[in-house]
Amino acid sequence: MKRLAFDLEEKEWMDWLLQRGEKPFRSKQIREWLFQKDENDPLLFTNLHLPLREALKADFDFDLPVVDARLESKDGSEKFLLLSKDNQLFEMVIMPSDHRITLCVSSQVGCRMGCTFCQTGKLGFKRNLTRGEILSQIILANRRLKEKGLERKVTNVVFMGMGEPLDNYEEVVAACKTLIAKDAFHLSKSKVTISTSGLVPEIERLGKDLPVRLAISLHQTNDEKRSEIMPINRRYPLPVLKEALLNYPAPDRLGITFEYVMIKGVNDSLLDAKRLVHFLHGIKAKVNLIPMNRFPGSSMTTAEEEAVEQFQRYLSERSIPAPVRYSRAQDVSGACGQLAAKKQNELDMDPRVLAKERRIEDKFAKTTFGQKKSLE
């Protein structure tokens, strides 16, 4: 199989060019075509001579993942289900707002961390995405923005789609390097956020290699209880995690963001809020309170509105910014990983069972949206 062109580093392009007796500076030109000019047909790289263009086409694969489904949400975001060459499904979400366009990318197909409240975790682990597959998501998003007639490109990238980015360290860091490279996407380090469930050695490594912004999926500040919902906590318990966070060189002194999914009766009490404030002591922190997205088959459910408000008030009164963030694109797919899981289920299903399920779903949709009054 040919290598994916988006997977090559600048140095690798240079080696390939040198082997062919070409000038190494052409690597910059190739990267500009791929990452800035949105051209993935090498025959159209017009500042290269024709034999070189033909050699590129012969030696590398320039295909982007296929968009298997695209769902538009009422809140303006769009969720995409992407299909790789080897038929793996992963998701990305474009989230526009007034001043920025944030793209939420996946780093793996599935995830091996097994958090009990997460649909991606329930999918299990299929494989890591390559750096090129991660970067393809930004290319596809920019292409979509152009198709919609917008002059804007993706300004911020968050690794909050499927997968645990620090469990795919090499590929994720290589992709981040291309995100900030001048001859590629040229984003600032403070516009790239890696969200992690808390892989301590990799957090320390990242601080040395490429300190982008960090978001920690915390969700619980009692060690025993955190281990119940996030098995990774058994390996890296809270005091060890806190030590790593105190030492993390966040860009522009922006501090660290904490994600706190609010689950009814699990982590939403006043006592939980008090423990959280204690845990955050000494860290420049912002907390995103995310009412849990329910998904089929999960016994856990969203915290009550009053509980979320009480929790938020407690943090705000102690000068910890704690906005309540409803997950974007909720109406089109609910929790992260849900779209991929649904499609995966369908792929695994007997076609006759699938057809029946779809008929039931269709009737359900028609009745819930009031287009038809009764089930025929």
Binding site for ligand SAH (CB under 6 A): 111, 117-118, 160, 164, 195-197, 217, 259, 261, 290, 292-293, 327, 335-336
With respect to ligand SF4, which residue has the nearer C-beta, 22 or 167?
Answer: 167
d(CA 368, CA 376): 14
Q: Find the helix or strand (DSSP H, E) in which 96 lies.
A: strand 89-96
Of 27 and 119, nearer to ligand SF4 (C-beta) is: 119
Cα distances from 129 to residues 7, 65, 135, in angstroms, run 11, 11, 10
Q: Give the nearest distance from C-beta 86 to ligand SF4 in angstroms.
A: 21
Q: Is 219 one of the annotated binding-site residues?
A: yes
Q: What does the alpha-carbon distance between residue 236 and residue 296 come to, in Å, rounded to a whole number?
A: 30
CA dist 88 and 210 (Å) reads 29
Minimum distance of ligand SF4 from residue 132's CB (angstroms)? 21
Crossing angle for the helix pair 10-19 and 26-35, to the nearest 10 degrees: 130
Query: Closest residue (Cβ) to ligand SF4?
Result: 121
Closest approach of ligand SF4 to the CB of residue 204, in Å: 18
Residue 293 marked in a binding site: yes
- Terminal C-alpha separation, the chain: 51
| Full DSSP string of 206-218 | HHHH---EEEEE-
DSSP output for 5-43: GGG--HHHHHHHHHHTT--TTHHHHHHHHHHTS----GG
Task: List the one residue out of 267, 253, 261, 270 whose CA is nearest residue 335.
Answer: 261
Catalytic residue list = 91, 336
- Nearer CB in complex with ligand SAH: 195/267: 195
Instruction: Work out what residue 292 binds among ligand SAH, ligand SF4, none; the CB cut-off runs from 5 to 8 Å by kind.
Output: ligand SAH
Q: Binding residue per annotation — 376? A: no
Q: Check whether 111 is labelled as a binding-site residue.
A: yes
- Counting every residue written for the chain, the total comes to 376
Classify the C-alpha dihedral 186-131-203-162 as positive or negative.
positive
The alpha carbon dihedral of 331, 336, 339, 342 has a sign of negative
Q: What is the nearest approach in angstroms of ligand SF4 to the Cβ of residue 115?
A: 3
- Compare residues 94 and 160 and give the one whose CB is closer to ligand SAH: 160
Tell me whether residue 142 or residue 197 sits nearer to ligand SAH (CB atom). Answer: 197
Task: Name every residue whose Cβ is closer than 8 Å to that of residue 27 and which is 6 or more positions away in sequence.
Answer: 10, 13, 14, 17
Was 195 annotated as part of a binding site?
A: yes
Rounded to the nearest whole angstrom, what is the least distance from the CB of residue 372 to ligand SAH in the complex?
30
- Partner from ligand SF4, ligand SAH, none binding residue 60, C-beta < 5-8 Å depending on class: none
* C-alpha–C-alpha distance, residues 10 and 8, integer Å: 7
* Positions in the binding site for ligand SF4 (CB under 6 A): 111, 113-115, 118, 120-121, 163-164, 197, 217
Contact partner at residue 137 from ligand SAH, ligand SF4, none, CB < 5 to 8 Å by partner kind: none
* Other Cβ atoms within 10 Å of 175 Cβ, number: 29
CA distance 244 to 252: 18
Nearer to ligand SF4, 27 or 102 (CB): 102
Closest CA to 108 of 180, 55, 63, 165: 165
Least distance CB 266 / ligand SAH (angstroms): 12
163 is annotated as contributing to ligand binding: yes
Residue 345 marked as a ligand binder: no
Which residues make up each annotated binding site for [4Fe-4S] cluster?
111, 115, 118
Which residues make up each annotated binding site?
111, 115, 118, 163-164, 195, 217-219, 293
Which residues make up each annotated binding site for S-adenosyl-L-methionine?
163-164, 195, 217-219, 293
